[in-house]
Amino acid sequence: MITLSSCEVGNREAAQGAVEVSGAPTVTTTPTLTPTVSRETTTPSAVSTPIPIAQDTPTIPPTIPSAAPSEPRSSPSLDFSSLEKTLIERYGNAKPKKWGENVPGVRTHLTTKEQVIALTFDACGGKEGSGYDEKLIDYLIKENIPATLFINARWITANKDIFAKLAANPLFEIENHGTEHRPLSVNGKLAYGITGTKSVNDVIHEVKDNADQIEKLTGRRPVFFRSGTAYYDDIAAGIVHDLGFQLAGYNVLGDAGATYNTEQVYNALLKARSGSIVLAHMNHPEKDTAEGIMKAIPELKKEGYRFVHLASYTLN
C-alpha cells in the first residue's frame, strides 16, 4: 500500500484511512514533557546496550525493551566527535536490507487500551512548505487539544516567533522533523522524488543538528524523530536508535501530505482507534487539513476519545 507523507510532493493515490503496522521497538531513553493530560502508568525497564551491527548482516537490535516516559534529560555528556566516529565505524560498511515507512524500530501505536489518540502535525519547511496553518493551531488551543508537532529546521528559520510561541504552549510537544527534510538513508535513496541522506555522517547530522537547535531554543531535547517523507532504511534506523531517539511513525494517514480535501481528512480521522497515531500537516494553510480536523474532532470526542502527546505513553 502506498502512502504519501511528504508535504513537498503532489497528490497521488494515497491510502485513505488507518494503516495498521508494527515494528520492533528500539530505544535507549525516553525523555518527556510534563503531560497536560492523564497518562498511563508504566514501569521503566532496564535498557540494554546497543548491539554492534555486523557489516554483512545489518539489523536493528531486536531485544531492547521499551522504557516508560521519564524526566527530560540534559544535553548528552558524551563528546560528540567520539560518538560520531563510533557510529561511522559501526555502520560505515553496512548495506541496507530494508527500506520504507515501517522498517524495524519505527513505532506506530501508543501502548494503551485507553480511548486516546495522538495527533501529530509535521511542519516541513522549504520553499513551498514553510507556511503556518493558524486556523488549525488556534482551533487546537481553543478546544484545549494536545498535539505533537514535528518541526523541520527550515520551518523554524522561517517562523522563529511562531515557533517560540508554540514551544512555550504546554499543549504542544515539539519534536524533530529533521534538518533538511530528507528521507533517512545511508546511500541517497529517493522517496517521492526527494533524495535521501547519502552516508552515515549525513544521517547523524540530519537528526542531531535539528535536535540541537530545538534543545537550544526550548530547553528540552526532542524524544522522537520523523524523517522527511517518513522513509528510512534499516541502517539509518539503527543510527537514530544509537543517537538516543525513537522513530515516530503513524497508523492513520490524516491528510496525505496536505493533499486531502476536507471530507478525506474527516473520513481518515474517524478511522482512528485507541492508541492511534495520526499524521497530518500544519504548514499548508491554503489546504483543507484544518477544516477536516475541525470536523472530525467533535465526532471523536462524542465517541469518548481523548487526545494526548506521544511522550505521555510508551510507543510500540
Where are the extended beta strands (E) located within 166-217?
A: 172-176, 190-191, 194-195
| CB-count exposure of residue 2 (10 Å: 0-12, 13-18, 19+) | exposed
CATH classification of the domain holding 227: 3.20.20.370
Q: Cα 22 to the chain's mean position, in Å? A: 15
* Tens of pLDDT, residues 292-311: 999 999 999 999 999 999 99
92 inside domain: yes
Q: What is the pLDDT of residue 53?
A: 37
**Per the structure block, which three cell numbers stand in for 163?**
515557533
Q: Is the pLDDT of residue 75 over 90?
A: no
Q: Report the alpha-carbon distance of residue 94 to residue 43 in Å, rounded.
A: 35
Q: pLDDT tens for residues 205-257?
A: 999 999 999 999 999 999 999 999 999 999 999 999 999 999 999 999 999 99
Question: What was the pLDDT predicted at 226?
Answer: 98
Domain span at 120: 17-39+61-70+80-312
Q: Please indicate, yes or no, if residue 97 is contained in any of the structural domains.
A: yes
Kindly give, in sequence order, each residue whose CB lies less than 8 Å from that of residue 191, ignoring residues fewer than 6 positions away. 6, 183, 229, 231
Would the pLDDT of 16 be above 90?
A: no
Provide the pLDDT for residue 44: 33
Residues 104, 107: Cα–Cα separation, whole Å? 8
Digit-coded pLDDT (tens) for 255-271: 999 999 999 999 999 99
Question: Is 292 inside any structural domain?
Answer: yes
Domain contains 175? yes
Has residue 108 been placed in a domain? yes
Tell me what pLDDT residue 171 has: 98
How many other CB atoms are found less than 10 A from the CB of residue 190?
A: 13
- Whether residue 293 is contained in a domain is answered as yes
The total number of structural domains that make up the chain: 1
Q: Please count the other Cβ atoms lying within 10 Å of the Cβ belonging to residue 256.
A: 26
Residue 4 lies in a domain: no
User: Helix (H, G, I), strand (E, B), or coil: what is residue 3?
Assistant: coil
- Predicted confidence band of residue 79 (pLDDT cuts 50, 70, 90): confident
pLDDT band at residue 67 under the 50/70/90 scheme: very low
Sign (positive or negative) of CA dihedral 165, 167, 173, 174: positive
Query: Which residues touch 301 (CB under 8 Å, ≥6 apart)?
Result: none
C-beta of residue 260 within 8 angstroms of C-beta of residue 278 = no
- 55 within a domain of the structure (yes/no): no
What is the Cα–Cα distance from 241 to 50, expressed in whole angstroms?
8
